Amino acid sequence: MLSKLRPRKSWIIRGATLLIILVFVFYLITISGRPAPIPSKQTLFEGAVTYHRRVYYFPRLVIAHVLVIDTKTKGLRTVVTPPDNNNSRPLNARTVTGFMDDFDVQIAINGDGFSPWWSRGPLDYYPQLTDPVTPNGYAASKGNIYALGDDPILYISRRTGFSFRKPGKVYNAIAGDRYLVTGGDKVDGLDDKERDPRTAIGFNKNGRWLYLVVVDGRQPFYSAGATFDELADILIAHGAHFGMSLDGGGSSIMVIENESGESIILNSPIDQYVPGRERPVGNHFGITLNR
């Protein structure tokens, strides 16, 4: 009887080993071309910026990308996309990498939501590159206010001060989807069910440290996305005293410029359920550094 059981046990072991190998190969194929789901920390731009890749394994796999920026860095300036048109649709849609090239910034994320927008398939979507759009909320670039709207609105002064209170003279401003953190506390009633790709911006109590967050999502076996409640937790964990969400979903993307001047996408954007596909969006938030 013992001799009859041994071949069966050996077959089970070989089958299990093969299954594990096949699962591992499938997983490698799944994450190919995307940032490895491994925590990482890197200092960028001569110490002015620290990049964190946060990986949350439980209760689901979630990958978050966080840039912590010292706004007191000499030569640092903020850039909000200026208007392209003087009409009801002031912006021509462009990708975040296109924004970086057009305005010579070293760090960029997507900005406010916009309209019109639809996605009915790979050939039927709006906007495509250069199509005119309108931001959902308030927007200003170098004192030029080109869209109006309600809170939340982040105001950025010429000297790179950040506030959710409207100043006497507006310099740069960009609107968001909702407040996430106020006074160091998470906003009550944030959704804790729906998980999607997310983008957020925040700053610490004295405004010196700026936090840019992008969470990957809608990518099975790679990153499930975050709820607004979880997005607020990520901001607070890095020291944010105030923060808001920006446009999310297929718009969420984080890009930096490397030492060779090339645009490097730090996350795994997903537009029309295609990992790595970059969506043309309305406005953008960028950082310029004199290096």
Give the lowest-confidence range in 108-112, 240-244, 257-261.
257-261
Tokens of 286: 């960028």
Query: CA–CA separation, 29 vs 185, rounded Å?
Result: 40
What pLDDT was estimated at residue 91? Answer: 98
Mean per-residue pLDDT, 110-136: 96
Q: pLDDT tens-digit profile of 54-99? A: 999 999 999 999 999 999 999 999 999 999 999 999 999 999 999 9
0.85 exceeded by pTM: yes
What pLDDT was estimated at residue 28? Answer: 46
What pLDDT was estimated at residue 290? Answer: 75
Please check the confidence at residue 29 and state whether its pLDDT lies above 50.
no
What pLDDT was estimated at residue 166? Answer: 97
Mean per-residue pLDDT, 178-200: 98
Q: Where are the domains of the chain?
A: 1-32, 35-288
Please check the confidence at residue 152 and state whether its pLDDT lies above 70.
yes
Q: pLDDT tens-digit profile of 241-250? A: 999 999 999 9
Please check the confidence at residue 182 and state whether its pLDDT lies above 80.
yes
Please check the confidence at residue 112 and state whether its pLDDT lies above 60.
yes
Please check the confidence at residue 180 and state whether its pLDDT lies above 90.
yes
Mean per-residue pLDDT, 44-63: 96
Please check the confidence at residue 44 and state whether its pLDDT lies above 90.
yes
Q: Give the 3-state DSSP-derived string for the chain, with helices as H, strands as E and coil as C.
A: CHHHHHHHHHHHHHHHHHHHHHHHHHHHHHHCCCCCCCCEEEEECCCCEEEEEEEECCCCCEEEEEEEEECCCCCCEEEECCCCCCCCCCEECECHHHHHHHHCCCEEEECCCEECCEEEECCEEECCCCCEEEECCCEEECCEEEECCCCCEEEECCCCCEECCCCCCCCEEEECCEEEEECCEECCCCCCCCCECEEEEEECCCCCEEEEEEECCCECCCECCECHHHHHHHHHHCCCCEEEECCCHHHCCEEEECCCCCEEECCCCEECCEECCCCCECCEEEEECCC
- CA-based nearest residue to 283, from 15, 81, 22: 81
Q: pLDDT tens-digit profile of 2-17? A: 455 466 667 776 666 6
Burial 204-217 (b: 16+ CB within 10 A, else e): beebebbbbbbbbb
Question: What pLDDT band is residue 271 in, cutting at 50, 70 and 90?
Answer: very high
